[in-house]
Structure 1
């Protein structure tokens, strides 16, 4: 089979999500099915803020457990965080402390609590819970350089339940723009790796 690799720039369209190949790193007949890049979901509570966002993306994958709540889905993903992601987060936090922005910890922090124990204002991984419902979990980080919002949306499709993880970023200043230069390129790989390991 011909070696097909998704280029690093294929998911970097700010404000939209262009479809990409469903396969990555296909070699010797062994392929990994990636979560699909999709347009930002209009049924998400974050959709109303899309026009004001400086960065936005969304990824969807079939959901194995149709009974899982959005919080349980997010916990499954964070518990499957690859070690390379935690290494990058640790490096990010060292730099963050040096330049005066928040040290947000690591993805899997606080992931051992029962899913139904989380409420608005609680810390969940690196985020704060904004709202938790039966179909959507909203998370956020507010900092001096930018604000981040994440949606974990559970939907019922004709071919089965799906999970969509969407991200919006509003940049506040020059530091925020500089911060997003590397983060905007790394972020899609982080989200898809966590979804693939924890949900697919």
Structure 2
């Protein structure tokens, strides 16, 4: 599958501002920060799986999540944590992308969001929600040069403490972000080849922030419950 671009397997990318200082997970004999972002095989449990073979571009990255009680932090909140409050450099890149691509008749990101909202379609970030289940949200857009979809999937993950004993396996969860792109002609392929390095950087950066933001949500809700008990 020559058009498939796999995530950088085995490589980590940890933005200094989001490195957890105390929370460590251990598995496969290695201790790694919770925000360790890794390339993973394309998830077969995703609803996008049937489209992998025909795609020009696919990549998939994952990050381990803090332990949570059932339904304590819904997938919607994790998706918002992935997309919300982007750094200034990301906003600048999007503005540059919008201005350049508008010359070729491609929709600006704000136009994508406005068009979805006019149709009553939910959006996450600026992108329309195509599909929503308890375990997976798919966003995406069909444009003149390409059709892209991004899956935000939560699934179980076995975490080992480095000791070869079954009782030392913790049932955790990981968030997997998979992007699938189908191109319409040469222009779409050139566009993806140009922006894919920025795409990978942005996905890794955004995923690395999710565990810290999820833990903040858990802590806030815990404090609120304690405050309500004291009333």
| Distance apart, 1:146 and its partner CA | 0.2
| Distance apart, 1:18 and its partner CA | 4.3
Provide the C-alpha distance between the structure 2 equivalents of 1:179 and 1:134, rounded to a whole number of angstroms.
33
Structure 1 residues 130 and 25: alpha-carbon distance in aligned structure 2, compared to 1, 3 A threshold:
closer
* Segment drifting more, 76-85 vs 31-40: 31-40
Q: What residue in structure 2 maps to residue 87 of structure 1?
A: 92
Q: Deviations over 1:103-151 (max 9, x none)?
A: 0139xx89xxxxxxxxx83222121101111100011111000000110
Q: Deviations over 1:7-64 (max 9, x none)?
A: xxxxxx83433413235689xxx99854111111111110110001100001110112
Q: What residue in structure 1 maps to residue 188 of structure 2?
A: 176
SS at match of 1:121: coil
Provide the C-alpha distance between the structure 2 equivalents of 1:85 and 1:61, rounded to a whole number of angstroms.
20
| Distance apart, 1:65 and its partner CA | 5.9
| Distance apart, 1:197 and its partner CA | 2.1
Provide the C-alpha distance between the structure 2 equivalents of 1:135 and 1:24, rounded to a whole number of angstroms.
25
5+ residue gaps, structure 2:
22-31, 115-119, 160-171, 213-231
Provide the C-alpha distance between the structure 1 equivalents of 2:60 and 2:40, rounded to a whole number of angstroms.
6
RMSD, aligned α-carbons = 2.9
Q: Deviations over 1:58-103 (max 9, x none)?
A: 1110112633222211101112422111110011011121110010
Q: Determine if the alignment matches structure 1 residue 47 to structure 2 residue 59.
A: no
Q: What residue in structure 2 maps to residue 136 of structure 1?
A: 136
Instruction: Give yes or no for contact 1:16–1:56 (8 Å, CA) kept in 2.
Output: yes
SS at match of 1:156: strand
Provide the C-alpha distance between the structure 1 equivalents of 2:107 and 2:199, rounded to a whole number of angstroms.
18
Instruction: Give yes or no for contact 1:90–1:105 (8 Å, CA) kept in 2.
Output: no
Q: What residue in structure 2 maps to residue 16 of structure 1?
A: 6
Provide the C-alpha distance between the structure 2 equivalents of 1:86 and 1:54, rounded to a whole number of angstroms.
26
Q: Determine if the alignment matches structure 1 residue 193 to structure 2 residue 193.
A: no
| Corresponding pairs, count | 176
SS at match of 1:41: coil
Instruction: Give yes or no for contact 1:71–1:132 (8 Å, CA) kept in 2.
Output: no
Instruction: Give yes or no for contact 1:46–1:151 (8 Å, CA) kept in 2.
Output: yes
Q: What residue in structure 1 maps to residue 81 of structure 2?
A: 76
Q: Deviations over 1:150-190 (max 9, x none)?
A: 10001122231110010000011121012112211211000
